[in-house]
Amino acid sequence: MQAQQDWEQQKLKGTTTVGITFKEGVVLAADKRATYGTFIAAKDVDKIHVVGDNIAMTIAGGVGDAQTLVRVTKAELELYKYSKGDSMTIQGAATLLANILQGNKYFPYLVQLIVGGYDSSPRLFDLDPFGGLIPEKYTSTGSGSVVAYGLLDEHFKEGMARDDAIRLAVKAVGAALKRDSATGEGIDVVCITKNDIRRYSKEEVRQFTA
């Protein structure tokens, strides 16, 4: 039993994801490595998922649990838009996820999530496995978050320009790549503004590492 608990805790901690608000939106960044304990199980994993017209989420933790929550969130947001004729707010979507996590706390989804997007302004929320929901200006999850926070705490400023926010997110995940064995294989970046959601190519991300 203890071995299983240790393994589940390792699954929860592995990876590094970052969310940062800036003047015109939100940037999400994450590494690409999936681990199974000390074993590198995959090297090209999408940890940032677009789940609506103006909203995306990052995942860290158990792959099956995270994928289930992504599917549920996409379906619920689509149903809401169909029935109400408008998109759910970012806080509404984050609260929906928090309620799902809270309702399963005795058999929890082993995940850490960041929900970010733009409705009337940039919105960013950090969710724990038991449904805790905290609005943030910047945040990080996963085993590399301790390293990432070192850069975020020092360099984040409210009202940052888009490129500065992307550069900081990339550097924060990049620092974790160097120090955390469960983080690796490159960096994904998604930027959400009032008008669009953009996923940056590998070549574009590399420009922000200089």
Q: Give me the count of residues in the chain.
A: 210
Instruction: Return the higher-pLDDT residue of 1 and 171.
Output: 171
What are the catalytic residues? 15
pLDDT digits (tens, 9 = 90+) for 86-115: 899 999 999 999 999 999 988 888 899 999
pTM: 0.88
Q: Which of 10, 26, 14 is nearest to 160 (CA)?
A: 26
pLDDT at 181: 56
Q: What is the Cα–Cα distance from 32 to 34, expressed in whole angstroms?
A: 7
Q: What is the Cα–Cα distance from 22 to 32, expressed in whole angstroms?
A: 24
Could you give all domains of the chain from N- to C-terminal order, each with its CATH number? 2-207 (3.60.20.10)
pLDDT digits (tens, 9 = 90+) for 154-172: 999 999 999 999 999 999 9
pLDDT digits (tens, 9 = 90+) for 39-73: 565 666 788 999 998 999 999 888 889 999 999 99
Which residues, 6+ apart, have CB-to-CB distance to 50 below 8 Å?
Answer: 56, 190, 197, 199
Angle (deg, nearest 10), helices 145-155 and 162-179: 150
Q: Which amino acid is at 119?
A: D
Beta-bridge partners for 141: 17
Give the rounded distance of the alpha carbon of 172 from its chain centre.
13
Determine contact, residues 209/174, Cβ cutoff 8 Å: yes
